[in-house]
Amino acid sequence: MTSKMWGGRFSAGPSAIMAEINISLPFDRRMAAQDVRGSIAHAEMLAARGIISSADSKAIIDGLGKIERELAEGKFPFKNALEDIHMNVEDRLKELAGAAAGRLHTARSRNDQVATDFRLWTRDAIDKLDAELKKLQATLIDKAEQNAGTIMPGFTHLQVGQPVTFGHHMLAYVEMFGRDRSRLADARKRLNESPLGAGALGGTSFPIDRTMTATKLGFARPMANSMDAVADRDFALEYMAAASIIAVHMSRLAEELVIWFSPQFGFIKFSDAFTTGSSMMPQKRNPDAAELVRAKTGRVIGAMVGLLTVMKGLPMTYSKDMQEDKEAVFGVADTLELCLAATTGMIADLEPVSARMKESAHSGYSTATDLADWVTQKLGIPFREAHHITGRAVKLAETKGCELCQLSLADLQSVEPRITADILKVLSVDAAAASRTSYGGTAPDNVRAQTKAARERFLGETLKW
């Protein structure tokens, strides 16, 4: 049987194996709504340019409108025999609109049709992802505001460094996810050009209006080169690159949640909503949601590397290899949607154990930098010398088995005689955190101001970056 799509060139249909490897409907059906939108814009343009009659255009658009409703209601009759979503829509349109349906593909190839649909789908995915990131930021900002003065240890090398506040720590991730949204916005701008009308690769002899279809589909402009229009997938790669960075940021946050939830740290509590038990050990409560968010980052990064590998050796313009692009992008979108929902839920659910956090902030001589800063500021000693003085004080505290704030004035003066009683006011973790008032610092008043600024920058109608 001759293929309905390939026409008279082939006298027989494909083998079963060829049909199986060639079919893309099971995954590209997700672009059905975008395919209909693109086809409506194309039909309207064809009529406006006098390439098809108004009557045929109306029949086509009415038929596509019925298909749109069928898709929305879950009643569209998908047929695996028709290979992909594009042929499914075209075949159904023929059933609804009759002979007029055959005119829809005038001045259009599946190459520019697929590229248009995929750009529309990815653009929609970016908009959805941005909204989900915004929800996560809002949840982090709320948690930061509630904990602007909650003292915890700040770490470098996973060793206690300086006292910070839990609110300040939450705002660090607000900034990360803000940059992620900015990257998505940049990617969207570059993506937002229309391939429609590029044809198979060299354009068309029909007097089409590519600016008209671009405008109708919300694109900023038509793509300037027809070969690039059908061959390019860097918009998908850029989406996946941005997605990979988002996944890495979520993974880092998830890792901290796992650490903080462990009994050795005990910094946070979760409800039963985001933890599971053990099949053998009845006492266990495992942070599985955080662990899975951490793990799924590998899936996102792997998908990006997979598509890069597919694209790296392709000559101009279109090759069937590019059919492998969509499953990777769809999978990334699904994974991020789930991970963002889980991460937002965990942040909203967690309860800081403030007493344990503050107790831990006292450990590891976390106010050593404050001692060195005081010596520099009050005694006029160069910081490098103050650093050595502080090191000797830390060694003394180690010998005595106490923290810096537990050393007496006499102890400190045995290290540096010029030290006065004023030093005792700066060695507590509360004083240390409160003293860091430089822009972007952890002082509770700073954190309160930064939560307000973050709401204005990230939670308004427009992202301010």
Taking only the tens place, the pLDDT of each residue in 364-380 is: 899 999 999 999 999 99
221-222/193-194 β-pairing: parallel
Tokens of 366: 């976390």
Q: How far is CA 87 from CA 28, 39, 102, in A?
A: 11, 12, 12
**Selection from 445, 399, 393, 398 nearest residue 423 by Cα:** 393
Residue 278 pLDDT: 63
Mean of the pLDDT values across residues 143-164?
A: 96
pLDDT at residue 156 is higher than 60: yes
Q: How far is CA 152 from CA 78, 290, 351, 433, 448, in A?
A: 56, 21, 14, 9, 16
Question: What are phi and psi for residue 170, nearest 5 degrees?
Answer: -65, -40
Mean of the pLDDT values across residues 13-24?
A: 84
Mean of the pLDDT values across residues 99-113?
A: 97
Contact 395, 411 (CB under 8 A): no
Dihedral (CA of 364, 435, 261, 175) sign: negative
Mean of the pLDDT values across residues 250-269?
A: 97
151-156/159-165 β-pairing: antiparallel
- CB within 8 A of 316, min separation 6: which ones? 201, 227, 231
Catalytic residue among 15, 262, 271, 278: 278
pLDDT at residue 112 is higher than 70: yes
Q: What is the pTM of this model?
A: 0.92
Taking only the tens place, the pLDDT of each residue in 62-82 is: 999 999 999 999 999 999 989
Residue 13, CB half-sphere, CA atoms under 13 Å: how many? 11
Mean of the pLDDT values across residues 285-293?
A: 92
Residue 20: pLDDT band (50, 70, 90) is confident
pLDDT at residue 2 is higher than 50: no
Q: Is 278 a catalytic residue?
A: yes
pLDDT at residue 283 is higher than 80: no
113 or 81, higher pLDDT: 113
Residue 19: pLDDT band (50, 70, 90) is confident
CA 7 to chain centroid, in Å, comes to: 43
Q: pLDDT above 90 covers what percent of the chain?
A: 88
Taking only the tens place, the pLDDT of each residue in 90-103 is: 999 999 999 999 99
Question: How many CB atoms within 10 Å of residue 91?
Answer: 16
Q: Rounded to an integer, what distance in angstroms lies between the CA atom of residue 12 and that of residue 10?
A: 6
DSSP reduced 3-state for 70: helix
Q: Is 414 a catalytic residue?
A: no
Catalytic residue among 157, 205, 279, 438: 157
pLDDT at residue 392 is higher than 80: yes
Q: How far is CA 340 from CA 176, 181, 254, 256, 346, in A?
A: 14, 13, 11, 16, 10
Taking only the tens place, the pLDDT of each residue in 408-456 is: 999 999 999 999 999 988 999 999 999 999 999 999 999 999 999 999 9
Residue 47 pLDDT: 98
* DSSP string computed for 341-370: HHHHHHHHH-EE-HHHHHHHHTGGGTTHHH
Contact 56, 102 (CB under 8 A): no
Residue 1 pLDDT: 37
- Mean pLDDT (the chain) is 94
CA 67 to chain centroid, in Å, comes to: 32
In eight-state DSSP terms, residue 193 is: E
